[in-house]
Amino acid sequence: MSEVRKKAKIALEDGRVFEGLSFGADGERYGEVVFNTSMSGYQEILTDPSYKGQIVLMTYPLIGNYGVNKNDAESARMFVEGFIVKENSSIASNWASEGGLGDYLRSNGIIGLEDIDTRALTKHIRVKGAMKAVISTVESDNATLVKKASDSEGLVGRDLVREVTSSREYDWNTEGKYKVAVIDCGVKFNILRHLAARGCRQRVFPADVDHKTILDWAPDGIFLSNGPGDPEAVTYVYATVAKLLGKKPIFGICLGQQILGLALGGRTFKLKFGHHGGNQPVKELSTGKVSITSQNHGFCVDLDSVKGKGVEVTHVNLNDQTLEGMKSDKLNFTSVQFHPEAGPGPNDATYLFDRFIDKMKR
């Protein structure tokens, strides 16, 4: 199917407008525009539930050149509100390719925008911060689009977990030495694959599950997944986790770490433009080891808010010194803000899954 190219725009709430050409679906969508520095892995990014409510801008200039396939998806569908690239490759060449990026976006109802100055937009976000925006293929003047962006709903105070979590509990796999209860706030498939590969039988529970349901299943460990939106808005999740602390080994990733911080009585805050990409340096304090990590988050735990609660800082971000990992031996949990499962990104931090297995062994 040939690409349909028509004029399209991205308008930011502060009045900045970029015009380019569309690929993918038609229409108008709203979200917070953020940039991702990954050089590849665009299909995994598109299907990451943590991007619900966001328009993703890729900084790498050529996207789509190796196509898409069903095995690279990180969830059952796309969750981004829009997708912006410098150039969408007209050729998809790869032995595993099952189609092109434009058709993939179109079949999922997602608007794509190309042929804009992605460097200028990225620099604008770095200076001004992530902000509300509208991406549109509908004929409209700039002032109207800017007002629509300004009037749209932001991420602060917004519970997006309910829009991505499973509607029911289910078994991801039914064999394994260790039973792991997964609280699904928008879990990525690659997390479940890593746990399964290490001998874990997994039952996935909706985000609004109560603590008794989880404990009645008698798991050996509990996993708190990644997910979108403002962590302070998902009060029902961290209220449940507060009742699970100390009962079983707990491992949290990304939103999972933020939920743990809130369950302890701490606070979270919004980063200026977040961490999105596959090249974030993180230092483990106990070993001095630096890992290059995959990240996707716009919020972070306020370290001062969890001081005095028996929490030890385990990892820090070397770019901005923000909290990237913590643990509590007393409450038997570990967590990281980055994504050790990658998908996409480097595999430097997969050792963290092995540590979770060791905790369940003990």
The residues annotated as belonging to the active site are 254, 339, 341
| Position 217, amino acid | W
| Position 11, amino acid | A
54: how many CB neighbours lie within 10 A of its CB?
27
Distances 119 to 6, 102, 126, 135 between C-alpha atoms, Å: 22, 22, 11, 17
Q: Beta 250-253 vs 221-224: how paired, if at all?
A: parallel
SS3 state of residue 339: strand
User: Do residues 113 and 20 touch, judged by C-beta distance below 8 A?
Assistant: yes
User: Do residues 314 and 325 touch, judged by C-beta distance below 8 A?
Assistant: yes
Q: Beta 17-24 vs 111-114: how paired, if at all?
A: antiparallel
**Token pair listed for 205:** 């529970």
Structural Rg of the chain based on CA atoms = 20
